[in-house]
Amino acid sequence: MSSDEPTTVLTAITQRRFLLTGWPWRSLGHVLTTVPVVCVVALPFTAFCVPWLVLAVWAGGGMYPQPLGRVLFLGVLGAVLMFGLGPLVAIPLAALERTRLRLVSRDRALSAHCCPPAAGLWAWVRTRYTEAATWRELGYTFLLLTLVPALWLSGAVIVGLIVVMVVSPLLVRDGDEAVALGFSQITSVDQAVPYAIAGLLLLPAIPYVSALIAGLHGALARSLLCGDDPDALRARLVEVSRSRARLVDSFEAERRRIERDLHDGAQSLLVNLTLQLGMAKLDLPPDSAAAKSVSQAHDQAKELMAELRQLIRGIHPRVLTDRGLPYALRALTEDFVAPVGVAADLPSRPAPDVEVAAYFVVVEALNNVAKHADATVVDVAVRRDREVLVVEVVDDGCGGADPQRGSGLTGLADRVAAVDGRMLLSSPPGGPTVVRVELPWIES
């Protein structure tokens, strides 16, 4: 399903091709199946309300005063029946409504409660009667028996009026009976023809009416039956976390593959080319034009090899994989534009994804220092604090770093969040700038 395809009938109504899609038929199916559902649910709830109906008849009919004990008994009996047995009707109704909701919604996140657990019926009853979802389902049942019929009836009146307008010439053809259309009456065919034409023009509005009724009903059901389900939300959160971890792992694996291919392939070929050019330069007369061309090519090959090493280091440094984070950080800061002090003393190596995240935190921080900070001294500290790997990069530059003005710090925060870490930034105008990252310590 494409990203611009509507997921609910209410959003589908706003599209021009609505009548050419399957949404009108899905909406009609939802509206028509609502009638038997309401009729079936109304039977037990009518029985639950009998004690209250008796009290209402006594109060409204002016009958002789009833004893207080009888009034209390009927009131309590009605409450017990409604709130004690009502959930037993509302729970299967909610499961059915979640299924019917798929007619007017394509959201894959629609969820339903499970069947009774293995612990037994009493454990299921205790669980269901103490969770908020059950009482939302009961509230939806009340609205289904009161608000939804009114909504459905208003739509039926509109559709019926359009149909009567269309067939009004046939109804007054004999001239014996008048047809009432709103506030006017039609007694002849000549009076009915304009209404019939207007009804024909309004016929395409009927699918919109049914879609609007089904969409409003679906929105009500969705808000009460599918919202804030802790189990569903927890399951979705776990799945999102797992998918994010899989993406990070696959991304890092691809980085390592590219680094390995460049290191073992392109860099090896470039080294051989540099050596051959050097040998060729020795075999040529020093003052010849060919020697000058070969010498220039040799220098360019050496520059290209240096740039390729920097590129490989930026993709995934081999020293990080082979020797660990402290050695990789010292190799990274050797050629930096400002003096960098590295204090990295770790008792062991963390997990590869945490180690890679910590390394590129320092890479991005140093890039920001080189571009914007105008710093003279930079300090990098990496240490383990209980179950947290702490990475700090401090510079004495001009400060004023703002994540809103560039994507570097934002990307850095996203990388840290991908491994369930957090980033803290302190960069007042005039400096110093402190980037502190805390990553969960996971043993390699």
CATH of the domain at 423: 3.30.565.10
Do 307 and 371 lie in one domain? The reply is: no
The answer to whether residue 412 is domain-embedded is yes
Do 138 and 164 lie in one domain? The reply is: yes
Domain count, the chain: 3
Segment 410-415 long-range contacts (CB within 8 Å, at least 24 positions apart): 411/364, 412/360, 412/361, 412/364, 412/365, 412/437, 415/357, 415/360, 415/361, 415/364
Do 178 and 263 lie in one domain? The reply is: no
Do 346 and 209 lie in one domain? The reply is: no
Do 260 and 343 lie in one domain? The reply is: no
Where among 205, 225, 245 does a domain terminate? 225
What does residue 371 show for φ and ψ, rounded to 5 degrees? -85, -40
Q: Which of 15-29, 60-74, 290-304, 391-405 has the lowest mean pLDDT?
A: 60-74
Q: How far apart are CA 105 and CA 216, in angstroms?
A: 11
Do 195 and 259 lie in one domain? The reply is: no
The answer to whether residue 3 is domain-embedded is no
Where among 315, 330, 362 does a domain terminate? 315
Q: Are 137 and 90 in contact (CB under 8 A)?
A: yes
Q: How much is the pTM?
A: 0.51
State residue 244's pLDDT score: 60
Q: How far apart are CA 398 and CA 182, in angstroms?
A: 76
Q: Are 86 and 137 in contact (CB under 8 A)?
A: no
Q: How far apart are CA 273 and CA 301, in angstroms?
A: 8
The answer to whether residue 241 is domain-embedded is no
pLDDT range class, residue 260, cuts 50, 70, 90: low
Half-sphere exposure of 104 (CA within 13 A, CB side): 29
pLDDT range class, residue 75, cuts 50, 70, 90: low
Do 220 and 263 lie in one domain? The reply is: no
The answer to whether residue 353 is domain-embedded is yes
The answer to whether residue 103 is domain-embedded is yes
Do 335 and 311 lie in one domain? The reply is: no
The answer to whether residue 421 is domain-embedded is yes
Q: Are 435 and 393 in contact (CB under 8 A)?
A: yes
Q: How far apart are CA 354 and CA 274, in angstroms?
A: 37
The answer to whether residue 292 is domain-embedded is yes
State residue 190's pLDDT score: 79
Do 267 and 289 lie in one domain? The reply is: yes
Reference 8, options 109, 111, 151, 107; nearest CA is 107
* pLDDT greater than 70 at residue 397: yes
Mean predicted confidence (pLDDT) in 341-353: 84
Do 306 and 176 lie in one domain? The reply is: no
Q: In what order do the strands lie in the sheet with 378-385?
A: 340-344, 378-385, 388-395, 433-440, 422-426
Do 103 and 199 lie in one domain? The reply is: yes
Per residue in 308-333, pLDDT (tens digit) is 666 655 566 777 777 888 888 888 78
* pLDDT greater than 80 at residue 83: no
* pLDDT greater than 60 at residue 301: yes
Q: How far apart are CA 116 and CA 130, in angstroms?
A: 14
The answer to whether residue 369 is domain-embedded is yes
The two three-digit tokens of residue 129, written as one number: 């009667």
Whole-number Cα distances in Å, 85 to 45, 55, 77, 88, 261: 9, 20, 11, 5, 69
pLDDT range class, residue 25, cuts 50, 70, 90: very high
Do 307 and 426 lie in one domain? The reply is: no
Residue 26 lies in domain: 9-225
Where among 184, 206, 225 does a domain terminate? 225
